[in-house]
Amino acid sequence: MAPSLLPFCCFSRRLQIPRLLLAWVTCLAIAVGTLLQPGLEGNARLWHHFSNKSNREQGYCEAEARLASSLDFWTLSSENLIAVLPVDPVKENYVRKVKNCVFSIAFPTPFKSRVHLVAVSKEVLEDILDLDLSVSETDDFIQLVSGKKIVFGSIPLAHRYGGHQFGIWADQLGDGRAHLIGIYMNRLGEKWELQLKGSGKTPYSRNGDGRAVLRSSVREFLCSEAMYYLGIPTSRAARTLLDFIIQEHFPSVDIREPNRYVEFFSIVVSEMAQLIALWMSVGFAHGVCNTDNFSLLSITIDYGPFGFMEAYNPDFVPNTSDDERRYKIGNQANIGMFNLNKLLQALNPLLDPGQKQLAAQILEGYPVLYYTRFRELFKAKLGLLGERKGDDDLIAFLLHLMEKTEADFTMTFRQLSEIAQSQLQELHIPQQFWALKMISKHELFPAWVSQYLVRLKSNMNDSDFERRKRMMTVNPRYVLKNWMAESAVQKAERNDFSEVYLLQQVLHHPFQKHSAAEKAGYSSPTPAWARDLRVSCSS
């Protein structure tokens, strides 16, 4: 393995919140929560570096008045990256084997056709980028997010990395259609890394043209929005490189400590277990859990052929390219272990024998960490308080019934949040609770209900109202099911972005009932036309 190729897409994959996803196109773009408009698309991302606490404490109201109304004095910086990490000495932008560096300088390729803005995220512009919403109406802004304008201080870079794809080492991969255009420090002292995607060729483009299609840009934008508002972390060269990553992103690790790499690995293992448990709690299947699609920061990145599971099925695979079903939803925790093991292999040259043994023991503890968090999340989804013998069996029993009846994952838990205990006790399931009605057809459903109600009685100082209220804060009514994204994509391809706007609004508040979403059928059974809908790596 080349010395600077880590099997994880390291810090440059640092989109901390989904809202920051920018996608733009020839006539169409989604940038910073922004859609520009047809043809070839791209998007831009922001990665969170760190927050300066003293600056935060200066007062948000005072800082809010400093929103810029233009890009005239708005600057980015690439110095912190290129001063520490090796840069490709070859300045020409052509596809090649790049050696002994972390970045190549590569400028975005502007579109030849006219580009205009379709939608923008006000929160990202104002809360993160210190820009007044009115800036999005300027030509300068459109040129920035479409790759035509390079602002002061920006040195566009393409990140070189490698990874395992479907379990096989793929060697050099790199940003084949992405440009890191710089780091911005906002008024709250936070550092954000801004990246354009679909912005043209780089030395790592292989046979691609450096662009992205409308379908994948819309899906990625909406899914990153969905994950952020569901409360799931998402993406809005070993030696020198690892120290840099620790300093920038792991402030709890003392860079002077001899065991700093072991501490770093321990954090990554713990956070990875947490992330995948969160995925499972909302029925999210990433689709392509290659090592280069996993972040050291344990945030969700690279939304390709993802899928939110509809009918509960541990063998659910959203990706038609995954012939061996390697990345089925029920195998995601195991894949996390595989990827962490590959990370440990990359770290081993930096560890002494004692540290290697300690790191191996940390990795062995991953399954327990994952299952502990999984249990906590699913107990919350069922409204269970405290610890009781049989909780694991109660969860497993329900999942078994859901699998056998092919009940909708999201709506089963949501409807359990909404139905009264008295209705359950009488086994009277109104038609509006259609997912529960499906499960009720199973002969063992009454037995599960009986066990569940007995367990709820053991919740100390709890009422049925409090139980439902609590459960509705963790069980979403809306997730971005494939049929919803497909419907929005089909309209967008006809220059109708109305459903993109609707989904953006709905996914901002996934736990609240939304009249327009109900009218669109977002909490109804999957339409017949979409029951076999799946996507591929190229979708």
With vertex at residue 345, the alpha carbon angle to CA 339 and CA 349, rounded to the nearest 5 degrees, is 150
> Which residues on adjacent β-strands are paired with residue 45?
195
Distance CA 207, CA 119 (A): 31
d(CA 48, CA 18): 11
- Classify strands 212-213 and 307-308 as parallel, antiparallel or unpaired: unpaired
First vs last C-alpha separation in the chain: 30
118 three-state secondary structure: strand
Which residue in 292, 302, 322, 408 is the catalytic one? Answer: 292
Rounded to whole angstroms, the Cα distance separating 316 from 128 reads 36
Give SS3 for 516.
helix
120/530 Cα distance (integer angstroms): 29
CB-based burial label for 356 (10 Å; 0-12, 13-18, 19+)? middle
Residue 170 amino acid letter: A
The C-alpha atoms of residue 385 and residue 458 are separated, in whole angstroms, by: 8
Strand partners, 43: 23, 197
> Which residues sit opposite 51 in a β-bridge?
190
- Give the span between the Cα atoms of 286 and 16, in whole angstroms: 17
Asked if residues 241 and 4 have their Cβ atoms less than 8 Å apart, the reply is: yes
Angle of CA points 341, 195, 253, to nearest 5°: 45
Q: Tell me which amino acid residue 432 is.
A: Q
Tell me if 241 sits within 8 A of 10, measured CB to CB: yes
The token duo for 43 is 């998007």
3-state helix, strand, coil in the chain (%, to 5): 40, 15, 45
Phi first, then psi, for residue 454 (nearest 5°) are -60, -40
Please name the helix (run of DSSP H) or strand (run of DSSP E) that holds residue 361, with its range, or none.
helix 353-364
* CA dist., res. 234 & res. 228, Å (int): 6
Distance separating alpha carbons of residues 59 and 450, to the nearest angstrom:
53
Does 140 participate in catalysis according to the annotation? Answer: no
Q: How far apart are CA 229 and CA 223, in angstroms?
A: 10
150 burial type by CB count under 10 A (0-12 exposed, 13-18 middle, 19+ buried): middle
* Cα atoms found within 13 Å of the Cα of residue 167, Cβ hemisphere only: 9
* Cα–Cα distance for residue pair 111/84, rounded to 1 Å: 32
Residue 97 CB neighbours (<10 A): 9
Q: Which residues are catalytic?
A: 292
